[in-house]
Amino acid sequence: MDGSPPAGPSDAAISARTDAYFNRTRAIVQRFGDVRVTYAVFLRRPVVSAPRLAVEFLEGVARERGTRFEIELMHPEGTWVGAGDPLLYLTGSFVELSDLETLYLQKLGPPCVAAHNAYQMCVELPEVSFLAMDARHCAGAEMANMMAYAASVGGGAAAKEGARGFIGNATDATAHWFGAARGYGTMPHALIGYAGTTLRAAEMFQEAFPEENLTVLVDYFGREVTDGIAVCRRFPDLAAAGKLAVRLDTHGGRFLEGLDPAESYAVLERHAPGAIRRYRSETELRHLVGTGVSASAIWRMREALDEAGFPKVRIVASSGFNVQKCRVMADARAPIDVVGTGSFIPDVWSETYATADIVAYDGEARVKVGREFLLRRNTDRKKNGGHPG
């Protein structure tokens, strides 16, 4: 490696992957004469600016084609952007830009929406560290890279406001977005099944990776409390040093060991009675006292660990931790140390659709009717130096 920036995709690759009408537009403009154009690039919903992948793509293509694009970033990475407000203005040769729209929009919209979700999750639970476990839910390596980047941007924006944010992710390939050399993670359910018991899986892991902190998945046999405490008693030094954690991933079809509807209410009455009185929807009620990894389940696990003499054993919670669930956990003051989640991936993919409209041809302002708000002359647009909201 010589340290030079990577080259952009070839013209043939771009032609194959872009919409056909952009290829035809490029051919027509080559025939009838090039012009200098300016695009306004925006999304139709509020987002957190995450433009790096799109910008790097454009810069790589410009180098490959021996041209230059002016990219005026209106909202720096990690800042809030309102619906319809241009994230950037892109200026250059119409011939060289006309066939790129499909590809740079693909790299812009999804990260911006995912970054917004990640930001919201982190600010709801500012004392909790987040681990990005999105890779298994992504449609291939390119999407996994986009989502990891988005989590790092959203988490970083939240960290500027005092939250812990995302501390890492689950794959080596995208760990660099979090300043790490490798992904985090100890064991899946498959290893528990292989070992035959939760305790034996913990022993195997400790023998194979003696220098690693140990996080044990405790729901495989439906004995979260029993098996969790058994592991703590087997490794008391790790437990006392804060190097042992239990991960709750209880299936949504059952309660955590020892809980039922009545006992779930009782747990929250002991620790966060106000939360159960303030719930606003059936979904919120399920997150509080329902099956799966509820607030009552997390509180019950904390109770059991403390009663058994293991106050420094941490709790990792996973299973459907989206923005709404994080908000409910905050209301219940659930004692979570780490959340493992991929639920910052956009739920409604149509929300990720970024749009680019040309707003000037050779310096003359011109845009389709209905998009006049994108014209510079109609507003005093200023680069956003604020924080996301």
- In percent, the amount of the chain with pLDDT more than 90 equals 90
What is the pLDDT at residue 199? 98
What is the pLDDT at residue 222? 97
Residue-wise pLDDT tens digits, 44-55: 999 999 999 999
Quote the mean pLDDT of the chain. Answer: 94
Q: Which of 74-83, 252-261, 309-318, 360-369 has the lowest mean pLDDT?
A: 360-369
What is the pLDDT at residue 6? 67
What is the pLDDT at residue 373? 85
Diameter over CA atoms, the chain: 80
- In percent, the amount of the chain with pLDDT more than 70 equals 95
Q: What angle do CA 143, 50, 323 make, to 5 degrees?
A: 75
Task: Give the pLDDT band of residue 371 (cuts 50, 70, 90).
Answer: confident
Token pair 């909201």 in the structure block, residue:
389
What is the pLDDT at residue 4? 62
> For residue 293, is pLDDT > 70?
yes
What is the pLDDT at residue 47? 98
What is the pLDDT at residue 383? 54
**How many other β-carbons are positioned within 10 Å of the β-carbon of residue 378?**
12
Residue-wise pLDDT tens digits, 239-257: 999 999 999 999 999 999 9
Strands 166-169 and 338-341: unpaired
What is the pLDDT at residue 279? 78
> For residue 386, is pLDDT > 80?
no
> For residue 233, is pLDDT > 80?
yes
SS3 readout for 332-388: CCCCCCEEEECCCCCCCHHHHCEEEEEEEECCEECCCCCCHHHCHHHCCCCCCCCCC
Model pTM?
A: 0.93
> For residue 58, is pLDDT > 80?
yes
- Residue 345: both structure tokens together: 């991936």
Alpha-carbon 315 to chain mean position:
21
**Cα–Cα distance list, 173 to 6, 108, 141, 170 (Å):** 17, 20, 9, 9
> Which residues does 56 contact at the CB level (< 8 Å), separation at least 6?
none
Please tell me whether residue 138 adopts helix, strand or coil conformation. coil
What is the pLDDT at residue 379? 47
What is the pLDDT at residue 377? 58
> For residue 384, is pLDDT > 80?
no
Average of per-residue pLDDT across 13-38: 97
Task: Give the pLDDT band of residue 318 (cuts 50, 70, 90).
Answer: very high
Nearest-CA neighbor of 346 among 140, 109, 136, 164?
109
